[in-house]
Homo-oligomer: A and B are copies of this chain.
Amino acid sequence: MTLAQLGADVIRFDDIGGGLDYHRWPLAPGGQSLFWAGMNKGKRSISVNLRSEEGRELVTALVAAAGNLITNFPARGWLSYERMRERRPDLVMVALTGNRDGTSEVDYTVNPATGFPLASGPRNLTEPANSLMPAWDVAMGGLTATGLLAADRYRTRTGEGQLIGVALSDVAFAMVGHLGRVAEAQVAGRDQSKDGNYLYGAFGHDFETRDGRRVMIVALTSRQWSALRAVTGQQKAFDQIAKATGLDLETETGRYEGRDLIAAILRPWFLGRDLAELRELFDGTGVSWGPYQSFKQLVEDDPRASEASPMWEMVEHPGVGRYLMPGTPLDFSGIPRQPVRRAPLLGEHTEEVLAEVLGLSSADIGKLEADGTVAFADDSVAQ
């Protein structure tokens, strides 16, 4: 979808009836998957019987015409790189797997293995705390787009295509390494304990406000720390803490080690003020902070997620209604921002793609539909 939002013609092929994500939550009141509608924006959809020889031949011909293929089906048999390359020698293909050995793994099963859930959550929680946001899927999406573009660049220079393999567990564990957690476990022999909403390695914590809202406050850098001290007027109290404990609160490590004391001093200050008041007090001061919002509050109250931002547009999704859809977060100065395109209905472009890309006649396409090789979007899908 990242590439579709950058202007690529991305054709998603699905088995007739839809893939494993076709009913994924969240759902619209009418039952359609808002996840599917979110993740397929700007793509064209073609529905093909992937168990039939004819259906596989159609997909193979499409891949040959496109020159690029991303798949999370097992890249074996008719869908193997070798077979696909027979029809398009310079094919670039990205094959996504769960694990490097081809075994299955999803975000929700690999996340527990990364170490993060056991180090997350309130201090007194005896259980792990999973992430609701599928961060490893997101990271994999970014790498997939990067890998495809890198291979496309290589092809432009050399004429050669290639297969790129990428496994979800590799993406997740590599990131654990990049973030320094593998090194910490090995060279410092340290496992982080659960520490609630404290930031690791500097000062950061959440505070309740007088009107029952919550804010996150961060003092990672010296400048953020100075600003926080100045605006809250707690300079003296912090000096006394430093004296009492011997901690140097001017350093990240000092602020981290003194985090409970810093939070205890700031807590009543926040409890005495409303969110709106804090917004005014902090504005332009260099204090690093942000309010907690629910999904609804984000959509209803935050101008950054509204039509006031060029990234968002109100778009109608058939059978669901009009709602805010985001385009790409990337702003290219040399290429105008494209209108946000909704996700297709399943099979919405079957006819169009077979005609345009493969040059099939209406009669041919009608026959393929009649014998169950392909399907079109029907009224039951659009409700």
Contact = CB atoms under 8 A, between A and B. Distances in A.
Nearest to A174: B326
Contact of A24 (B26, B161, B201): B201
B304 A169 contact: yes
A215 to B, nearest CB: 8
Given A108-B216, A142-B141, A214-B127, A328 B174 contact: yes
Report the contact-size class of chain A (Cβ under 8 Å from the partner).
35 or more
A119 B294 contact: yes
A139 B176 CA distance: 14
30 contacts: A6-B150, A25-B252, A26-B180, A34-B180, A34-B184, A34-B187, A37-B180, A38-B180, A39-B179, A104-B288, A109-B290, A110-B290, A113-B292, A114-B133, A114-B298, A117-B197, A145-B146, A151-B334, A170-B304, A170-B326, A177-B325, A181-B295, A182-B295, A182-B326, A183-B320, A183-B325, A185-B295, A185-B299, A186-B299, A187-B323
B324 A182 contact: yes
Interface in A300-335: 300, 302, 304-305, 309, 311-312, 317, 320-321, 323-335
A180 B290 contact: no
B167 A321 contact: no
A371 B304 CA distance: 45
A210 to B, nearest CB: 17
B38 A220 contact: no
Given A25-B201, A33-B180, A180-B33, A120 B129 contact: yes
A264 interface: no
B146 A38 contact: no
Given A109-B289, A115-B293, A189-B296, A329 B143 contact: yes
Contact of A139 (B117, B142, B160, B295): B142
A-B CB proximity, top 6 nearest: A142-B142, A25-B201, A34-B180, A162-B334, A109-B290, A115-B295
Given A115-B295, A182-B305, A182-B326, 19 more contacts: A1-B178, A2-B146, A25-B256, A26-B183, A34-B180, A108-B216, A117-B292, A127-B206, A131-B135, A133-B135, A152-B153, A163-B334, A165-B333, A166-B329, A170-B329, A173-B304, A185-B296, A186-B299, A187-B320
